[in-house]
Amino acid sequence: MMTRFDLHSHSTASDGTLAPAELVARAARAGVQVLALTDHDTTDGIAEACEAAQRHGLWLVAGVEISVTWKRRTVHIVGLGVDPERPELQAGLQRLREFRQWRAEEIGRRLAKHGIPGAWEGARRLATGAIVGRTHFARFLVENGHAGSVREVFGRFLVKNRPGHVAGRWASLEEAVGWIRAAGGQAVIAHPARYRLTATKLRELIGEFMACGGEALEVVSGSHSRDEVVAMAAKARAFRMLASAGSDYHGPENPWIELGRLPPLPAGCRPVWEGWEQPELREVAVC
Ligand code: AMP
Ligand code: MN
Ligand code: MN
Ligand code: MN
């Protein structure tokens, strides 16, 4: 089923494969009316996406997906309706990109020791935007015959206890939510079911997130099963959080995920977009 909203997507500014304008054109063709561009640790794609959104008559919500280290795990916090010009946000993202740069070189060194030379150069060549991510390494390794698929590369090389793994040193939860709020945005815990947290740990994460001013849980995600959508809807209701929905689209190479192709929010969820057109509740900046 189609929704009008798709509040999580990536472009070539991070690890997506469509340029921001191409992404917006595809979203418009898919019937999306409100799209958030949420690249990893950068807002570089927003200006081009805004310009395209005006041409296609679609609302573009300026967003970002911030990498966070929480209790030695990596979690992702999406910011929706951020003002990309805010210095607190930009300084924070800049720091994360500097870590990314070092991490990419370190992944390259580790893979080289493991007998795979040239991975950093290869990943950097595949990354046309400001960030080099693990996805670029994965694409390089697939291109060079080290694995059959991106998913396989992650399992064999890029996750914990594998030769190319480097532990994250990302933002704290408080920093990420703080930067989003300083930029006038709403903070959302991205794809919460992906972290495989126990009920206790998820409750802790949500508690700390809300104490920092976080508002929403991404109940509907391209990476959630139906059961996970139901389970996360129950969490959103129990903790009185707003609910978001986004495909986490990265490009046409993953045909099982399409822009705007998402189930509806389960009954009883309060959508994060409630009040976006009502200034007395909250007005989201769109273009
Ligand atoms: P990074 O932020 O550079 O560490 O990379 C995280 C990104 O890698 C995620 O946003 C996904 O796009 C991708 N990713 C993570 N795990 C997997 C996996 N198991 N299979 C395919 N892609 C993955
Ligand atoms: Mn990604
Ligand atoms: Mn993510
Ligand atoms: Mn994402």
pLDDT at 135: 98
pLDDT at 129: 82
Question: Are 20 and 122 in the same domain?
Answer: no
Question: Are 45 and 129 in the same domain?
Answer: no
Can you give the pTM of this predicted structure?
0.97
Among 105, 129, 158, the domain-final residue is: 158
Among 158, 189, 211, the domain-final residue is: 158
Question: Are 186 and 219 in the same domain?
Answer: yes
Give the neighbor-by-neighbor strand order of the sheet with 216-221.
5-6, 34-37, 59-70, 73-80, 186-189, 216-221, 242-246
Question: Are 208 and 273 in the same domain?
Answer: yes
Question: Are 111 and 81 in the same domain?
Answer: no
Give the structural domain span for 143: 94-158
How far apart are the C-alpha atoms of 15 and 27, rounded to whole Å?
17
pLDDT at 43: 98
pLDDT at 226: 97
Does the Cβ of 139 fall within 6 Å of ligand 1? Answer: no
In a domain, 20, yes or no: yes
Question: Are 101 and 213 in the same domain?
Answer: no
Does the Cβ of 154 fall within 6 Å of ligand 1? Answer: yes
Which residue, judged by its Cα, is nearest atom 4 of ligand 1?
134
Give the DSSP H or E segment for 220.
Answer: strand 216-221
Residue type, 79: G
pLDDT at 50: 97
Produce one character per residue of 248-267: b if its CB has 16 or more CB atoms within 10 Å, e if not: bbbbeeeeebbbbbbeebbe
Task: Spell out the residues 6+ positions from residue 266 whose beta carbon is closer than 8 angstroms to its own.
Answer: 219, 229, 230, 233
Does the Cβ of 137 fall within 6 Å of ligand 1? Answer: no
Instruction: Collect residues with CB below 5 Å from ion ligand 2.
Output: 15
How far apart are the C-alpha atoms of 16 and 12, rounded to whole Å?
5
Structure tokens at 187: 């903070």
pLDDT at 279: 79
pLDDT at 1: 45
Which residue, judged by its Cα, is nearest atom 6 of ligand 1?
134
Which residues of the chain have a pLDDT value below 70?
1-3
Question: Are 81 and 38 in the same domain?
Answer: yes
Q: Domain holding 269: CATH number?
A: 3.20.20.140
- The ligand whose atoms approach the alpha carbon of 191 most closely is 3
pLDDT at 281: 76
How far apart are the C-alpha atoms of 260 and 249, rounded to whole Å?
9
